[in-house]
Amino acid sequence: MRFPKIAAAASVVLLAAACGGGADSDGGGDADSLTVWVMGTSQPPLVEYFEGAEARFQENNPDVDVNVEFIPWPDAQESITNALAGGDAPDVIEIGNDQVAGWASQGALLDITEQVGGWDASGDIDPNALEYGTYDGVQYGVPWFSGVRTLYYRADWLQELGHEPPATWDDLLTVAEDIREEYDVPGFAAPTDFTNGIASFIWSNGGEIATQNAEGEWEGNLTDPATVEAVEFYADLTNDGVSPQGYVGENELVPLADMANGQVGMYIDGGWALTAMEEQAEDPAVLEEIVAAPIPGADGIAPAFAGGSALSVFSTTQQPELAFELLTVLGDQEGGKGYADAAGFFPAYPDLLADDEYQKDPARVAAATQMQNTAFFPSTPRWTAADQDSKILPGAVLEIVNGGDPEEVLAAANEQLTTILNEPVE
The pLDDT of residue 360 is 85
- Report the run of H or E that residue 368 belongs to, with start and end: helix 365-370
Both 212 and 261 in one domain: the answer is: yes
Closest CA to 265 of 113, 153, 353: 153
Both 177 and 203 in one domain: the answer is: yes
Is 290 exposed, middle or buried, given 0-12, 13-18 or 19+ CB atoms closer than 10 A?
A: buried
Both 142 and 166 in one domain: the answer is: no
- State which residues form the domain around 100: 33-147+306-374
CATH number at residue 330: 3.40.190.10
What integer is the mean pLDDT of 206-225? 96
The pLDDT of residue 6 is 36
Both 297 and 409 in one domain: the answer is: yes
Any domain includes 24: no
Any domain includes 6: no
Residues near 59 by beta carbon (within 8 Å), at least 6 away in sequence: none
Residue 244, CA distances (Å) to 181, 187, 273 in order? 14, 9, 21
* 333 within 8 A of 120, measured Cβ to Cβ: no
The pLDDT of residue 16 is 28
The tally of domains found in the chain comes to 2
Both 197 and 159 in one domain: the answer is: yes
Any domain includes 181: yes
Is 166 exposed, middle or buried, given 0-12, 13-18 or 19+ CB atoms closer than 10 A?
A: buried
The pLDDT of residue 124 is 96
What are the backbone angles phi and psi of residue 385, rounded to the nearest 5°? -65, -35
Last-in-domain residue among 374, 391, 410: 374
Both 276 and 311 in one domain: the answer is: no
Both 275 and 187 in one domain: the answer is: yes
Residue 25 pLDDT greater than 90, yes or no: no
The pLDDT of residue 65 is 97
Can you say how many angstroms the Cα of residue 291 is from the centroid of all Cα atoms in its chain?
21
Any domain includes 14: no
More confident residue, 390 or 7: 390
Both 279 and 407 in one domain: the answer is: yes
Helix (H, G, I), strand (E, B) or coil at 400: helix
Both 220 and 287 in one domain: the answer is: yes
Amino acid code (one letter) for 76:
A
Closest CA to 232 of 392, 376, 410: 410
Residues near 93 by beta carbon (within 8 Å), at least 6 away in sequence: 36, 37, 80, 109, 311, 312, 313, 314
* 31 within 8 A of 21, measured Cβ to Cβ: yes
- Would you place residue 26 in the very low, low, confident or very high pLDDT band (cuts 50, 70, 90)? very low
**Sheet strands (E) in 314-422:** 374-375
Both 172 and 265 in one domain: the answer is: yes
Bridge partners of 301, per DSSP, are 296
What integer is the mean pLDDT of 211-231? 97
Per DSSP, the residues of 216-239 read S-EEE-TTSHHHHHHHHHHHHHHH
Any domain includes 23: no
Any domain includes 396: yes
Closest CA to 142 of 108, 170, 117, 160: 117
Both 131 and 111 in one domain: the answer is: yes
| HSE (side-chain half, CA atoms, 13 Å) at 226 | 15
Both 354 and 392 in one domain: the answer is: no
Which DSSP category does 300 fall into? S
What integer is the mean pLDDT of 21-38? 65
Residue 391 pLDDT greater than 90, yes or no: yes
